[in-house]
Structure 1
Amino acid sequence: MRTDRLVAVLLLLQRREQVTAAEVASELEVSERTARRDLDALATAGVPLYATQGRGGGWRLVGGARTDLSGLTASEARALFLVAGPASAATPTVKAALRKLVHALPEPFRAQAEAAASSVVTDPRRWGSSRIEHRPPRFLDELQDAVIHGVQVRLGYVDRGGAETERTVHPLGIVAKGLSWYLVANTEAGRRTFRIDRVSSVDPTDDPVRRPDDFDLAESWREIADEVDRKRTPVEAQAVCVPDGIGVLRIAFGGRLEVGGTTPDGRVEVVIRGRDEHMLAGELAGLIDWVEATGPPAVRDHLAAIGTALVERYG
Structure 2
Amino acid sequence: MRADRLVATLLFLQERGRVTSAEVAAELEVSERTARRDLEALMAAGVPVYSRQGRGGGWTLVGGARTNLTGLTAEEIRSLFVLLGPVSDTPRMRTALRKLVRALPSTLRTDAKAASRVGLDDGTDWARAAEGGPHLADLERAVLDRARLRLGYASPGGAARVRAVDPLGLVSKAGARYLVAGTEGGLRTFRVSRVTSVERTGEVFEPPAGFDLAAAWRGLAGPMEERMAAATVRGRAAPGTAALLDRLLGGRLRLGGRDGDGWTRFEADGPSPEVVAAQLAGLGSRVEVLAPEAARRRLAELAAELAGLYGAP
2: distance between equivalents of 1:246 and 1:84? 35
Mean CA deviation greater in 155-164 or 76-85? 155-164
- Residue 175 of structure 1 deviates from its aligned partner by 0.7
Q: Is the 8 A contact 1:175 1:182 kept in 2?
A: yes
Q: Is the 8 A contact 1:186 1:192 kept in 2?
A: yes
Find out whether 1:195 has 2:191 as its counterpart.
yes
Q: Give the AA of the match of 1:156.
A: L
Aligned to 2:178: 182
Aligned to 2:152: 157
Q: TM-score, normalised by structure 1?
A: 0.56
Q: Secondary structure of the residue that 2:203 maps to in structure 1?
A: strand
Deviations 1:166-187 (A, max 9, x none): 31x3333211234432211221
Q: Is the 8 A contact 1:152 1:208 kept in 2?
A: no
1: distance between equivalents of 2:151 and 2:67? 49
Q: Give the AA of the match of 1:182.
A: Y
2: distance between equivalents of 1:200 and 1:76? 40
1: distance between equivalents of 2:298 and 2:99? 59
2: distance between equivalents of 1:164 and 1:117? 42
Q: Give the AA of the match of 2:105.
A: A
* CA shift in 2, pair 1:249/1:220, >3 Å: farther
97, 100, 104: which is aligned to 1:98? 100
Aligned to 2:29: none
Q: TM-score, normalised by structure 2?
A: 0.56
* CA shift in 2, pair 1:90/1:199, >3 Å: same
- Residue 205 of structure 1 deviates from its aligned partner by 1.7
Aligned to 1:209: 207
Map 1:9-88 onto structure 2 (within 5 A). 17=44, 48-49=50-51, 69-85=69-85
Q: Is the 8 A contact 2:132 2:192 kept in 1?
A: no
- Residue 236 of structure 1 deviates from its aligned partner by 4.3
Q: Secondary structure of the residue that 1:48 maps to in structure 2?
A: strand
2: distance between equivalents of 1:274 and 1:210? 32
- Residue 189 of structure 1 deviates from its aligned partner by 0.9
2: distance between equivalents of 1:138 and 1:285? 34
Find out whether 1:239 has 2:266 as its counterpart.
no
Contiguous gaps of at least 5 residues in structure 1: 1-6, 8-12, 20-38, 51-59, 128-132
1: distance between equivalents of 2:69 and 2:162? 48
| Number of aligned residue pairs | 248
* CA shift in 2, pair 1:170/1:271, >3 Å: same
Q: Secondary structure of the residue that 1:75 maps to in structure 2?
A: helix
1: distance between equivalents of 2:284 and 2:171? 35
Find out whether 1:301 has 2:297 as its counterpart.
yes
* CA shift in 2, pair 1:270/1:236, >3 Å: closer
Q: Is the 8 A contact 2:139 2:198 kept in 1?
A: no
- Residue 112 of structure 1 deviates from its aligned partner by 2.0
Q: Secondary structure of the residue that 2:205 maps to in structure 1?
A: strand
Q: Is the 8 A contact 2:227 2:271 kept in 1?
A: no
Aligned to 1:113: 112
* CA shift in 2, pair 1:279/1:14, >3 Å: same
Q: Give the AA of the match of 2:204.
A: D
Q: Give the AA of the match of 1:76.
A: E
- Residue 95 of structure 1 deviates from its aligned partner by 3.5
* CA shift in 2, pair 1:141/1:251, >3 Å: closer
Contiguous gaps of at least 5 residues in structure 2: 1-13, 15-39, 53-59
